[in-house]
Amino acid sequence: MKKNKVDQLFSKFLVKHEATPTKASWEAMEAMLNKAEKKEKRPVWWYWSAAAVLLLSIGFWFGQGFNPQQTQNTLAVVEPEKDSSAIETAPKAEQPKTEENALEADENALKQLEKPVQKKPSRPKKVRVSGYYAQEEPKQNNAEDPNESIEKEPEQQPEIAQLAQPEVMETLPAKMDITPAEAVDNLIAQIEFRPAQATEELAEVSFKPRQSSGKRLLQKVKAIRNGDASIKDLGLNRQNLISLVTNRNEEE
Amino acid sequence: MSKVVPLLTEHDLVKGCQQGDRNCQKQVFEKWHRKMLAVCQRYINNNFEAEDILMQAMMKVFTEINKFSGLGSFEGWMRRIVVNEALMAVRKQKIVFESVNQEDVENSEGFDPGSLQVDAEYLFELLQSLPTGFRTVFNLYAIEGYDHKEIASMLGISEGTSKSQLSRARQMLADKLTKMNTGDTKTVIQ
């Protein structure tokens, strides 16, 4: 079809025609683009924060449900029952021991008693952590040389105290040479030696683990957010708590 | 000190925009916004409104640039978005398609632009002086290159209406150009 001459004239001139804007500018365009991108990002941000709040509140709910029980159990072990029997129970736990070793163990326990309190805040954790092993892996370490284990124990303790993640804890028994029963007894002895402080710590005990569980949960939520962990990992903590509580009950 | 700006091809620019690169978006905007504003102004007489439409259309270009297949010209794709945006604004104003009696439709075939001394600005003004209905159809058909079927569906009119509006628009434009050429020297632009 032959093109109309009027059409040709206009299209020839106007297709390439340009106009000068009075207010439209790249700066205005950029502002619009920035605004649009912010709007796009907001829902994602809200989604994550809402998820985090939800998970945290669930975590605290469980934390409140379990921690009082746990601290009560810890108290029951620590305070009334093993009173003054701490030193005697240590040799009992180690069956293949010579008298010499028993003496050394006792000495070590005594040394522990004499030690001044240096790390108040971490003590509740120690009780928990070593208690955890006492129940989870009670027999594995018994065969090991008590001499070596006893010497290493004081140095290892701070390390144990720092380990709050259950996953890490599970890897520990291989590294640790402490007899679990000893660890518990030593710690019991430590706490018992200072009755006044022990009660002071009780207040901390009831508070601290809850705080740390909250922190751990937060770390996990972050891990999940970064894609390093899955939701299932949250359940681990709860299971550990449950096993801790039930094992305690069985022991008593 | 002269700044060395790497010469980016149209393909590079589109790719950059697809990745949200501000520099590429800026180059695209600076390269085409004047042309696209002229497109808007052919459809919308109010210059301020035309600039608003331009901004909205460019925004759409950047947010939907991932839909650009890469086949065909990028400018053509952008122009379609701009035209579409302008048409949406035109339709809001409710275009009145003046009824055209068949007898009124004169033949503009005899028009010879050969000896005309015109420039784009003049033709642009001439086009803007047309009633909205004529102008819109003429724009779409003669300059943008849509056919009557497309125009009819774009504007929600019949193909017949589109055809008659086009004829009337051509006639009016030819008349004005002829008048300018034959006697009224004041309107001749040097």
Cβ-Cβ contacts under 8 Å, A32 against chain B: 55, 59
Residue among A6, A11, A22 minimizing CB distance to B51? A22
CB contact under 8 A, A10 and B123: yes
CB contact under 8 A, A33 and B59: yes
Contacts for A181 with CB less than 8 Å, ≥ 6 apart: A89, A90, A92, A93, A94, A134, A138, A142
At A54, the pLDDT band (50, 70, 90 cuts) reads very high
Contact B137, B127 (CB under 8 A): no
Element (H, E) at B51: helix B47-63
pLDDT at A210: 52
SS3 annotation, A2-53: CCCHHHHHHHHHHCCCCCCCCCCCHHHHHHHHHHHHHHHHHHHHHHHHHHHH
pLDDT digits (tens, 9 = 90+) for A179-204: 666 666 766 666 555 545 545 555 55
Residue from A160, A162, A184 nearest A173 by CA: A160
Half-sphere exposure (Cβ direction) of A80: Cα atoms closer than 13 Å? 4
Parse chain B into domains and list their residue ranges: 10-92, 102-187
CB contact under 8 A, B109 and A5: yes
Cβ-Cβ contacts under 8 Å, B29 against chain A: 26, 29
CB contact under 8 A, A36 and B63: yes
Half-sphere exposure (Cβ direction) of B29: Cα atoms closer than 13 Å? 25
Is residue B139 over pLDDT 90? yes
pLDDT digits (tens, 9 = 90+) for A139-194: 444 444 445 444 444 444 444 444 444 444 444 444 455 566 666 676 666 655 55
**Residue bearing tokens 């040709």:** A8
For the complex shown, is ipTM > 0.90?
A: no
Task: Tell me which of A60 and B140 has the higher pLDDT.
Answer: B140
Is residue A239 over pLDDT 50? yes
Question: pLDDT > 90: what percent of chain B?
Answer: 60
CB contact under 8 A, A30 and B116: no
CB contact under 8 A, A14 and B30: no
Range A85-90 average pLDDT: 49
CB contact under 8 A, B113 and A33: no
- Among chain B, residues having any CB pair with chain A shorter than 8 Å are 20, 22, 25-26, 29-30, 33-35, 37-38, 41-42, 47-48, 50-51, 54-55, 58-59, 62-63, 108-109, 111-113, 116, 118-120, 123-124, 127, 138, 141-143, 145, 170, 173-174, 177
Q: For chain A, what is the mean pLDDT?
A: 63
Is residue B151 over pLDDT 90? yes
pLDDT at B58: 95
Three-state DSSP class for residue A137? coil
Task: Tell me which of B139 and A92 has the higher pLDDT.
Answer: B139
Is residue A215 over pLDDT 60? yes
CATH fold for domain B10-92 = Rna Polymerase Sigma Factor; Chain: A (1.10.1740)
pLDDT at B187: 46
At A224, the pLDDT band (50, 70, 90 cuts) reads confident
Residue among B26, B29, B113 minimizing CB distance to A9? B113
CA A248 vs CA A76, A133, A169, A242, B83: distances in Å: 10, 12, 18, 10, 76
- Say which CATH architecture domain B102-187 belongs to: Orthogonal Bundle (1.10)
The pair of three-digit structure tokens given for residue A119, joined into one six-digit string: 């790390």
Of these ranges, A36-40, B95-99, B130-134, the one predicted with the greatest mean pLDDT is B130-134
Residue A93: phi, psi to the nearest 5?
A: -70, -30
pLDDT at A119: 47
CA-derived radius of gyration, chain A: 32
Q: Compare all CA atoms of chain A with the CA of B28 and give the residue at the minimum distance.
A: A26
Q: How far is CA B175 from the centre of its chain?
A: 21
Please tell me chain B's helix, strand, coil percentages from 3-state DSSP, rounded to the nearest 5. 70, 0, 30
Is residue B138 over pLDDT 80? yes
Range A91-118 average pLDDT: 56
Is residue A228 over pLDDT 50? yes
Distance from CA of A52 to the nearest CA of B (A): 29
CA-derived radius of gyration, chain B: 19
- Angle A232-251/A26-76 helices, nearest 10 degrees? 10
Contacts for A71 with CB less than 8 Å, ≥ 6 apart: A202, A205, A206, A209
Is residue A131 over pLDDT 60? no
pLDDT at A208: 47
The pair of three-digit structure tokens given for residue A98, joined into one six-digit string: 């010579």
DSSP one-letter string for B124-174: HHHHHTS-HHHHHHHIIIIIS---HHHHHHHHT--HHHHHHHHHHHHHHHH
Contact A188, A77 (CB under 8 A): yes
Question: pLDDT > 70: what percent of chain A?
Answer: 29
Contact B56, B70 (CB under 8 A): no
Q: Compare all CA atoms of chain A with the CA of B178 and give the residue at the minimum distance.
A: A6
A31-45 residues labelled b (16+ CB within 10 A) or e (exposed): ebbeeeeeeeeeeee
Residue among B26, B143, B177 minimizing CB distance to A26? B26
Query: Which of A4, A6, A12, A35 would best serve as a mutation to test chain B binding (most B beta carbons within 10 A)?
Result: A6
Is residue B155 over pLDDT 80? yes
pLDDT at A75: 54
Distance CA A102, CA A98 (A): 6
Lowest mean pLDDT among A36-40, B14-18, B38-42: A36-40
Lowest mean pLDDT among A14-23, A209-218, B59-68, B71-80: A209-218
CB contact under 8 A, A5 and B111: yes
Contact B54, B37 (CB under 8 A): yes
The pair of three-digit structure tokens given for residue A182, joined into one six-digit string: 């000893």
Q: Indicate whether this model's pTM tops 0.80.
A: no
Is residue B147 over pLDDT 90? yes
Is residue B76 over pLDDT 70? yes
